[in-house]
């Protein structure tokens, strides 16, 4: 399956300040079944990607291309987001893109079957050419029989949206220090 690309517009700051709000893209996790929507995200350095979780329980974990369904060292991990129907969760997970290298992602939830092995994978900034495609990553993931989760969340912020639409950080910000795999 081919992925779609998320789009969002810059929100300009007050006139004359020369600043702009960060470009934010939202990815739905589990909204349409065991999938990330969109599953292919193109983002510039400094842009934020917010993961919004849907029932029943999902996560976002960074993997190396050649080792799907297993976490990369010091990679992104949202933790688990158990979410009652109809969703979405009252919390989100937001990362900031640090470079333009590919970031391969999967869901490490195991019930009712391992989500990664069911093909629940995504990529941020896929390679423009070569054999490392989302379809190849998904095919390799489907050859696995299990998923592994890191011990602790890393690489982003868990936030609870307020009714006004602003967000409040509810955990200590994690710092993404690992290199993205390509």
Measure the CA–CA gap between 167 and 95, rounded to whole angstroms: 14
Q: What is the pTM of this model?
A: 0.78
Burial 10-32 (b: 16+ CB within 10 A, else e): eeeeeeeeeeeeebbbbbbbbbe
pLDDT for 177 equals 40
pLDDT in tens, 23-74: 899 999 999 999 999 999 999 999 999 999 999 999 999 999 999 999 999 9
24-157 is classed CATH 3.30.420.10 = no
The vertex-92 CA angle with 53 and 181, nearest 5°, equals 85
pLDDT at 178: 43
CA distances to 17, 29, 125, 134, 142 from 99, rounded to whole Å, are 26, 23, 9, 19, 28
The model's confidence at residue 22, banded by pLDDT at 50, 70 and 90, is low
Half-sphere exposure of 36 (CA within 13 A, CB side): 33
Number of residues assigned to the chain? 182
Neighbours of 8 (CB within 10 A): 15
Tokens linked to 111: 């019930």
Distance CA 38, CA 40 (A): 6
Residue that has been written with the tokens 């060292």 in this structure: 73
| pLDDT tens digits for range 95-153 | 999 999 999 999 999 999 999 999 999 999 999 999 999 999 999 999 998 899 999 99
Is pLDDT at 6 greater than 50 in this prediction? no
């Amino acid at each position: 399956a081919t992925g779609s690309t998320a789009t969002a517009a810059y929100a300009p700051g007050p006139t004359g300040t020369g600043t702009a709000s960060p470009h934010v893209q939202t990815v739905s996790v589990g909204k349409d079944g065991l999938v990330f929507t969109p599953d292919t995200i193109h983002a510039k350095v400094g842009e934020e990607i917010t993961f919004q979780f849907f029932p029943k329980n999902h996560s976002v974990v960074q993997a190396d291309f050649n080792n799907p369904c297993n976490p990369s060292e010091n990679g992104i991990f949202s933790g688990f987001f158990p979410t009652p129907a109809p969703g979405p969760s009252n919390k989100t997970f937001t990362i900031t893109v640090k470079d333009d290298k590919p970031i391969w992602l999967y869901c490490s939830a195991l019930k009712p079957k391992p989500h990664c092995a069911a093909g629940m994978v995504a990529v941020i900034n896929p390679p423009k050419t070569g054999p490392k495609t989302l379809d190849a990553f998904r095919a390799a993931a489907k050859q696995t029989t299990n998923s592994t989760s890191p011990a602790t969340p890393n690489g982003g912020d868990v936030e609870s949206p307020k009714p006004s639409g602003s967000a409040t950080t509810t955990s200590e910000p994690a710092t993404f220090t690992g290199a993205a795999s390509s």
